[in-house]
A and B are shown apart, each in its own frame.
Chain A
Amino acid sequence: METGTFPTQGGRKPLGIIQAGLAKRKAAETRFKTYGIVAIAAGLVFLAILFISIVGNAYTAFQQTQVKLDLYLDPDVIDPEGTRDLDVLSGANYAAIVRSGLQDQFPDVESRRDRRALNALVGRGATYDLRATVMAVPDLVGETLTVWVPADDDVDMLLKGNIDREAAEEGRRLSDQQLAWIDQLESRGRLAKRFNADFFTKGDSREPESAGIRGAVVGSFYTMLVTLLLSFPLGVAAAVYLEEFAPQNRFTDIIEVNINNLAAVPSIVFGLLGLAVFINFFGLPRSVPLVGGLVLTLMTLPTIIIASRATLKAVPPSIREAALGVGASQLQTVVLHVLPLAMPGMLTGAIIGMARALGETAPLLMIGMVAFIVDIPQGILDPATALPVQIFLWADSPERAFVERTSAATLVLLFFLIVMNALAVVLRKRFERRW
């Protein structure tokens, strides 16, 4: 071959060939760019649908239909002997008082069947609330209280438009008669949608109208407390050791590979570990925040260690050399000079790890934090559930009224997560340092 000559298509000049192919390549370029935009748009649309679907279902849960009743606390029903003994007060038939308060509104309802239908309009929660009120102030016996009590979830759903009035009576959860009563109560100003405080102050319940997230929030709080108290010190200690003290040998290599792999182990496997080790081997009780916190600690630890090591790495060696140069020991250097500089970054890592742990559900299912628990837990050894688990439980409930409560609980969970992440961002911005 003769050097210095290039073959070209049919002897055309390269520039001509390039110009000819330009339009096609331009089109390919535009197409490719469009794919990118479409991909981002798809991601953002998914995000929007997710939030719209949840907020759209959730906001109605912050209002609850309530009925205003005048309840005569009849001494003959509550405390016939007049002892005001708390045992007597606790065992009294408050349901009867609520029922008669409701029947006072409709004196002409006579038959047993009609009365039962009427009573079904008020939720069962009213009875428990009344008992709590009387137990707190026994002197109320004999008085007449005017209170708003939660209506049954079917009434609530009707007012929120989730039950079709026009549907055939057999296929409807409320009879024509009940609809008439509801309308009358509403026209008398005794039935209205009011702020749903119970949602924030009560524990779980089988009845949607008196189910709240307080128990789950408190359970999550205790679980997170255990997780934070264990995982942050341990994570920082491990990171400090690996970054500042560890010799380069096989053992530290193993630890390092281990931590990286552990960070990618499915969370449910940690649940299995918790079940087998903490509950079956060490005999800790099921369903308690302590075990939940232990499991989440093991799960969060790799995240915190990795984040903390990255922050330690970012502290320039000159700081260490300066301290070592004036005769500080290695430990003094780390504790007095390196750690304070790395602390904001480590806290940021810890908050992000906590946020992940707060949303975690699967391992908690394994260790039994999925039980139906009405009482608000009082400590880390009380049976409890957690906010995400509560969402899982409610999502499984068939009642229509639980859909909005599940969405609202989700919203509360997302609110906590947003607050935590915002805190992490603020912390990072505030203390961010470029060396």
Chain B
Amino acid sequence: MYESEAKLAEPNATMRSGVGNVRATVPREHRQTVGNTRVDNPRIRCNKLNVYYGDTHAIHDINLDVGNNEILALIGPSGCGKTTFLRCMNRMNDTIPGCRVEGEIIVDKQNVNSPEVDVVPLRARMGMVFQKPNPFPKSIYENVAFGPRIHGLTANKAELDEVVETSLVKAGLWDEVKERLDQPGTGLSGGQQQRLCIARAIAVQPEVILMDEPCSALDPIATAVIENLMVELRQNFTICIVTHSMQQAARVSNRTAFFHLGDLIEVGETNELFIRPGHQLTEDYITGRFG
């Protein structure tokens, strides 16, 4: 399996295989994105996105669309910038000191990467699920009710109860927890905790769910449950998922984007990309020559 410790992309991340090392030094002009980055009627459109951590240039000139009701998988070796890219879309990089994001992220004809745009409604529209399940140290009910409460989405307790139930049902957790909503969320198993976090994100009724390696801390059975859930959720939400597992990307996503050292190397329909990769680096990666 692949390691998942490197959360932040660094362009000088070491490659494991000799082949990769040679390829990593291919000149810039050979690193143009292969495949169609654009879709019709996109939910999110990124133009010339660059991210810097202090002096380090983490991702370069990314152009990429996220379509409506699709699952877009972001794959690539550790430190390739896929998590950084994901965190641009709901401006979570704002919370990292020294991080600078340049370029446009267009949502509903508005560039949400401009400082005037308030992150509060943006993040409400783009729910996020993190690498490690991070339920709050509160009851299961309060975890799910957190978003609706702070945003004032419900008028009364009955409505709130309904939102909590709906979210838990959609997250496939309701049957397991309906008897013990008042117990701490931290007492659940890892997979249940992650589904609780998904329910917490759903409760705000976002348009997009951003998932940052949501299964990397889970066992295979819990992973399978979450993957099935993603396919279900696709009917109501747009999902953008970062994953280390090519198998996972192949199983759940419609489109796949392959990142390498801060560059977007190739984008395409998932089936296409895994069967006929258009770029040598993509082929090397999916055939396991480096990782």
Contact = CB atoms under 8 A, between A and B. Distances in A.
B6 interface: no
A7 B154 CA distance: 8
Interface residues of B, number: 21
Contacts of A6: 162-163, 166, 205
Main secondary structure of the interface of B (DSSP, over half): helix
A14 B151 contact: yes
Give the 4 A-B CB pairs with smallest separation, nearest first.
A9-B155, A14-B205, A7-B159, A18-B121
Interface in A220-242: none
Given A1-B166, A3-B169, A6-B205, 15 more contacts: A1-B162, A4-B236, A5-B166, A6-B166, A8-B154, A8-B159, A8-B205, A9-B153, A9-B159, A10-B155, A15-B124, A15-B125, A18-B151, A18-B152, A25-B150
B60 interface: no
B1 interface: no
A21 interface: yes
Contacts of B163: 6-7
Contacts of A38: none
Nearest to A2: B166
A19 B150 CA distance: 12
Nearest to A20: B152
A21 B166 contact: no
Contact of B204 (A14, A21, A22): A14
15 contacts: A1-B165, A3-B166, A4-B236, A6-B162, A6-B163, A7-B162, A14-B124, A14-B205, A15-B121, A17-B153, A18-B120, A18-B152, A21-B152, A22-B120, A22-B121
B124 A18 contact: yes
Contacts of B151: 14, 17-18, 21
Given A14-B204, A15-B125, A19-B121, A4 B166 contact: yes
B152 A22 contact: no
B182 interface: no
Interface residues on chain A, size class: 10 to 19
A17 B152 contact: yes
Interface of B: 118, 120-121, 124-125, 150-155, 159, 162-163, 165-166, 169-170, 204-205, 236
A10 B154 CA distance: 9
Given A14-B204, A15-B125, A18-B121, A4 B170 contact: yes
Given A15-B121, A18-B120, A8 B166 contact: no
A14 B153 contact: yes
A22 B153 contact: no
A14 B155 CA distance: 12
Interface string A98-134: 0000000000000000000000000000000000000
A1 B153 CA distance: 19
Contacts of A22: 118, 120-121
Contacts of A18: 120-121, 124, 151-153
Nearest to A10: B155
B131 to A, nearest CB: 26
Contacts of A19: 121
Interface string A168-182: 000000000000000
Contacts of A5: 166
Interface in A295-324: none
Contacts of A1: 162, 165-166
Contact of A8 (B124, B153, B169, B170): B153
Contacts of B169: 3
Contacts of A17: 151-153
Contacts of B162: 1, 6-7
A25 B205 CA distance: 19
Contacts of B150: 25
A25 B124 contact: no
